[in-house]
Amino acid sequence: MMRILLFLATNLAVILVASITLSLLGVGSYMTANGLDYGNLLAFCLVFGMVGSVVSLLMSKWMAKRSMGVRVIEQASNADEQWLISTVQELADKARIGMPEVGVFASPQANAFATGANRNNSLVAVSTGLLNKMSREEVKAVLGHEIGHVANGDMITLTLIQGVVNAFVMFFARIIGSFIDRAVFKNENGHGIGFYVATFFAEVILGILASTIVFWFSRRREYRADIAGAELVSPAAMASALMRLKAEYEQPSDMPDEMVAFGISGEMKNKLGGLFMSHPPLDKRIEALKQRYQ
């Protein structure tokens, strides 16, 4: 129930903000008696495409805490929590970012993620499985990897890319819908019932194809974050942590779909192929580190 209410509230906020923004910009309907108004259509798609991504980014910490059941460490209650906080502080200082919130979430799998709207207002969380299965030096390297994501601005960049992709999918889907409505359904203005049906299917197909761009960036950022972990801690510790993950990850991640892209390890196998993987294979990541630091 909570997830449904969150979904509805998020979409309502997107619609309200986008409607106000469009009104302020003086953008009316993109449909006219003579067909599509491409200027208004582009503005409409950019606003709705970007607003959805930005709202998600602004709510990312709040959503992550609830979807993953993250317990934020406000004050260390034992030596392990004190070590975790001091280690994140050390790495954040090295990376020249603000101290992130530090949290732990219950999961038997070794994993960690970082999220947040900016470099100085982020969250770094680790699983209980990670703390139990890795040495402190390996955990430190994983934390360095996540701090690297924050320092590199990966969450913000991913949001911008997703927003632009959303906008152009909406834009071209409506152009395709208008063309099909004119050519097949013979509607002179190009926005009869055929427009809506064709637009729907075009958005699905274009959305799947365009998502490869987002996945490509997601894979690239993993290599950069691995380098950050190696630089902030040590190449040997980062490689050891990845090898530890490789030994465990023969099964899909138990993280929710919306959080997999932010974890240190995503799904190792994907039926749709490498173009639709959020993370490169761990073998390739380990090899990339070896080649860089050999």
What the block records as the tokens of 180 is 């099909």
Separation of alpha carbons 283 and 111, rounded Å: 17
Q: Which letter does DSSP use for residue 263 in this model?
A: B
Alpha helix (H) ranges present in the chain? Answer: 2-25, 38-58, 60-68, 79-95, 128-133, 136-151, 154-183, 193-232, 235-248, 257-260, 282-293
Residues in a beta bridge with 101:
123
Catalytic residues: 146
| Residue 114: its H or E element | strand 112-118
What the block records as the tokens of 77 is 């209650």
Side-chain-facing half-sphere of 108: CA atoms under 13 Å: 4
Q: Which letter does DSSP use for residue 98 in this model?
A: P
What one-letter code names the amino acid at 113? F
Neighbouring C-beta atoms of residue 34, cutoff 10 Å: 9
